[in-house]
Structure 1
Amino acid sequence: MVKKTTIDLIMDKLAINNILKIQSLSGELEFERASSLYLKTRKQSKEDASLSEVRDHLKKLIKKYEQEHWSDEDQISDEQIKESDFAEAFVRNENEFLQKRKELIRKKLKTYNLNQNDLARILGHQKGYMSELINGLRPFSKDDIIVIHRLLKINLEDLFPPFIPQERAIHIKSILEKLSASGVKLRKQDLNLETT
């Protein structure tokens, strides 16, 4: 069984269908992802009342986190600022990847004279659910990604986010240092989210 990383757990926790179960955000990465999701759901919440409820709950979670962690300037540490900067960079890169993937899928669909609804039918999804997948509100399943890859001839690296979460990259680097004879190494840019 594959151990889930902190990033995977945050993504699961902040999946659209889990948001209403969340009582509080724990950490800067969750805060940044919740803030991003809040902005992403603005347009869709006007069309889907259930997303409006999710968006309202996200707003409450965000405000609560800000009050608990950012309201007293004297209590903000350099480590907290560093963690915030890291989380912001990670979410920005993640959003850029999702936007690029969305545009690529739409372009390929057009090339094959298909639309998003056709893709939803092919994958066995409802129209609204497909919209949430395309817009990055829900993660694609591995099976969906493989079908899109084969059907639309899109490279897998353009469909799967290429990020190695920092904690995982650090773990890999420490193990590789112990296995120094192997010659396999992570380059500096492999650890740096800004250059992914």
Structure 2
Amino acid sequence: MRRVSLLRSSAGFTYIGALVMVVVLGIMAARAVTVWKTAAQREKETELLFRGMQYMDGLRRWYWPKGIPTQTGQTPLPGQPRTYPAALPVGVPGPKELKELLKGTGASPKPCLRKLFLDPMTLKEFEPIKGADGRILGVHSTSEEAPIKQSFKDPSSFNLDPSDFEGKSSYKDWVFICTHWPRPLGDESQTGAGQGTRTTPP
């Protein structure tokens, strides 16, 4: 009887040990999935920034085919910040659709965009942002997901205005607008010269 009792006790400990192992493996698996999902989201986030900037640069080539002028029309002296146009040029019609960026304008035969990019967060087309005059100013995602990246002062964001991205609650609030420019070094203001009018995505 004592031997049977010992066997039952050993089986009980084995069962409890197996349960503990299952719980530990479950926790490790859940953490691994969380880490993987975060890494995947960061990768898509980086791709969103790249693709959004492609549209932003393509629109700049459309509206300023001969190059973007400074507000004064002169090259600034060393150490002076370069100021850019705060609005689209007068008299230049905008593309009716984003796909028109694939062809050149009358002033430049080169394509303004090499291909149409999908929004990596939704795998759908980017939503155009239009100004009061109906011309396309930029694009934004339609994703309601909350961004991971919140700081845009690193070198990879040199071509962006941080106030278009920092503190936003969803990716659809990240706007890539061709009349919004990066701040001069050392400028921490939310609105600087030459950044243009803020446009809230629909």
Is the radius of gyration larger for structure 1 or structure 2? Answer: 2
Q: TM-score, normalised by structure 1?
A: 0.27
When the two structures are superposed, what TM-score results if normalisation uses the length of structure 2? 0.27
